[in-house]
Structure 1
């Protein structure tokens, strides 16, 4: 009887409600990114190796060099990035409101922690003059561990 009682709830014993199960499931999804980041940092620290995807490069086009420099400096001041390259005069062709447009833009290559990409993107949307700024990221797969350690120190902790 003990084995049966431990597997099947006895009549009158409390059962988890659907709401409780949904809350636990939702909390699990919300906590996962934080736990993943912490476990990657712990693994990297303990083993001295780099875990792919911990850092990202964010690409952003700007209409001119002054805006690009101001944005780069603000990202560094806010510790959202460890490094920003400003690549001048990228020729851009794109569809805008049903027409093919052509412009000369400045490309920012922003190096940051992957965990900061969402916050960095939100900040760029606030300050960028384009109605829809081009912001996307790629995870860094491999590279020099000394560079990644330096990058880690240059970006504010989560």
Structure 2
């Protein structure tokens, strides 16, 4: 069953918490894994930079992927956030769980 993985990095724990909790609250992701602190080296505005960051991996459905990407871009503290997304095959049970957890409740 297909799921979409979305990867980003943030500068600190507070940013990680806000971004993850907001995506979960909006049911844009079923799970957000904090992969831990990483050291990133990159070229930015003509200079090579080094930063300590926290990497986050969001798990969502194909149907919610674009909305999740837009949410991350709109709420991310960086001017140009890392935003990588790819589709992966999940076990049926895990894929169904991701699908269930990203469904918005319908009110009758």
Once superposed, what is the RMSD of the aligned Cα atoms?
1.2
Equivalent in the alignment of 1:107: 55
In the alignment, the residues of structure 2 paired with residue 82 and residue 134 of structure 1 have an alpha-carbon distance, to the nearest angstrom, of 20
Q: Is the 8 A contact 1:69 1:86 kept in 2?
A: no
**TM-aligned CA deviation for residue 156 of structure 1:** 2.3
Deviations, residues 62-100 of structure 1 (Å, cap 9, x unaligned): 010111011101000000000000122111011100111
Equivalent in the alignment of 1:43: none
**TM-aligned CA deviation for residue 102 of structure 1:** 0.4
**Which secondary structure does the structure 2 equivalent of 1:129 belong to?**
coil
Residue pairs, 1:8-157, within 5 angstroms? 50=1, 54-141=2-89, 143-156=90-103
Equivalent in the alignment of 1:13: none
Deviations, residues 82-128 of structure 1 (Å, cap 9, x unaligned): 00001221110111001110001001100001222211111111111
Equivalent in the alignment of 1:34: none
Structure 1 segments of 4+ aligned residues over 2 angstroms from their partners: none
TM-score between both structures, scaled by the size of structure 2: 0.90
Quick one: higher RCO (CA 8 Å, sep 6+), 1 or 2?
Answer: 2
Residues matched between the structures, number: 104
**Which secondary structure does the structure 1 equivalent of 2:79 belong to?**
coil
Greater strand share, structure number: 2
In the alignment, the residues of structure 2 paired with residue 60 and residue 80 of structure 1 have an alpha-carbon distance, to the nearest angstrom, of 15
